[in-house]
Structure 1
Amino acid sequence: MKIGIMGGTFDPIHIGHLLAGEAARDAYGLDQVWFMPSHIPPHKHQAGASGTERLEMTREAVAGHPAFEVLDIEVLRGGVSYTIDTIKELQKLHPAEDFYFIIGADMVNYLPHWQGIEELAQRICFIGVRRPGFQLALHELPHYLENRILLADMPVVDISSTDIRERAAEGRTIRYLVPDRVHDYITRGGLYEVQP
């Protein structure tokens, strides 16, 4: 099977994440997309929802989509989440699967800075999901990334998890920015509310 892995902090997961996963699935005929919350992402450290809460929100977000699953491997492993470690582990557990790593097109230019990127590029392909009008300079990337990056287009959705957390902390609405089940989870638990 062709499996897309979409990693992220997902603090919280929102409709932009789901649209990106669906765009990659549709563009390249992926059989499944596994959404994988990171434990501690190497590129940003922030206070927010716990790993358990982010896993649960991700489960709520993908519920009902037959091709979407949640992967808890990085949250359970703990520590800083490096994609190379995760892919090695997944390839041991699922040797027959063909893995693709889904990223935002804005992250494509940052790939040369990823931990173990040369080995990672030998193991998997990346799917860079871009918004209309976004330009990439793929010819400027190192040779080991040649033919390892596929591109998929998605609709323009200007939403960020940071904005959603700020809105929730201010008591403003986040409805329709996140799936209904994620909205209910955040509201029910008072997630992101400023504590006195």
Structure 2
Amino acid sequence: MAKRIGMLGGTFDPVHIGHLRSALEVAENYALDQLLLIPNAQPPHRNAPQVSAQQRLEMVQLAVAGVDLLSVDDRELRRDKPSWSIDTLLSLRAELDAQDQLLLILGWDAFCGLPSWHRWEELLEHCHILVLQRPDADIEAPQVLRDLVAAKSVNDPQTLLGPSGQIAFVWQTPLAISATQIRHLLATQRCVRYLVPDTVFQYIYTHQLYQE
């Protein structure tokens, strides 16, 4: 039987409950066999993370410990070049059976920025794209993406066919939390408990991360 594998990339600087709740909801609601959280090494579309790759990796590992459906994949941290999603997809594809479904999970903002991604037109050759929508999303997709959605989207993510090639949209629990907000709170000596898992909270304070 074909497997369903999700991948959620990000800087995770730091990982927080917004990332984790979205990942768990997708994994449970759409019967994924595994959802991989993949920390970026050198994110090509944003500033360099504030803490080391190893520290970000360790925080994500702590965050998903004991959650069977979620796991951490460090392949982008082991590559000595920018974290292009197309390279990660090709690497994962090489490890899967031909009929396994690979789902690239993107927030709405990231999806709207796809045309700026390296070799973005090739992504659907190797995966399906699952777009996380929130009621407060206020960015409009460019015309090239609206055309792609019209041609490639399905109404129900459960009906994605084959290993790749389609787009589906899902609603997520609206948790208005951002890593930027968390870093600001820490830089101003304010508490971030309940915004990150307790294990990540302890790690941040033990290692004195994000403190100016």
TM beyond 0.5: yes
Whole-angstrom distance in 2 between the partners of 1:164 and 1:74: 24
Q: Superposed, which structure 2 residues align to 1:20-169 within 5 Å?
A: 20-96=22-98, 97-132=100-135, 134=137, 140=143, 141=145, 143-144=147-148, 146-147=152-153, 148-169=166-187
* 1:47 Cα deviation from its structure 2 partner: 4.2
- Per the alignment, residue 17 of structure 1 pairs with 19
Q: How many aligned positions are there?
A: 194
SS in 2 for 1:36: strand
- Gaps of at least 5 residues in structure 2 are 154-165
Whole-angstrom distance in 1 between the partners of 2:139 and 2:101: 25
- Going from structure 1 to structure 2, the CA distance change for 1:137 and 1:122 (only over 3 Å counts) comes to farther
Whole-angstrom distance in 2 between the partners of 1:39 and 1:46: 9
Contact 1:24 1:127 in 2 (8 A): no
- TM score, norm. by length of structure 2: 0.84
Whole-angstrom distance in 1 between the partners of 2:131 and 2:146: 16
* 1:165 Cα deviation from its structure 2 partner: 1.0
SS in 2 for 1:76: coil
SS in 2 for 1:74: coil
* Greater CA drift, 38-47 or 173-182: 38-47
> Which residue type is aligned with residue 63 of structure 2?
A
Whole-angstrom distance in 1 between the partners of 2:139 and 2:31: 23
> Which residue type is aligned with residue 51 of structure 1?
A
* 1:89 Cα deviation from its structure 2 partner: 1.0
Whole-angstrom distance in 1 between the partners of 2:138 and 2:13: 27
- TM score, norm. by length of structure 1: 0.91
* 1:126 Cα deviation from its structure 2 partner: 1.0
SS in 2 for 1:75: coil
Query: Once the two structures are superposed, what CA deviation does each residue of 1:40-87 show, in whole Å capped at 9, x if it has no partner?
Result: 111102341111000000001111111000000001113210000111
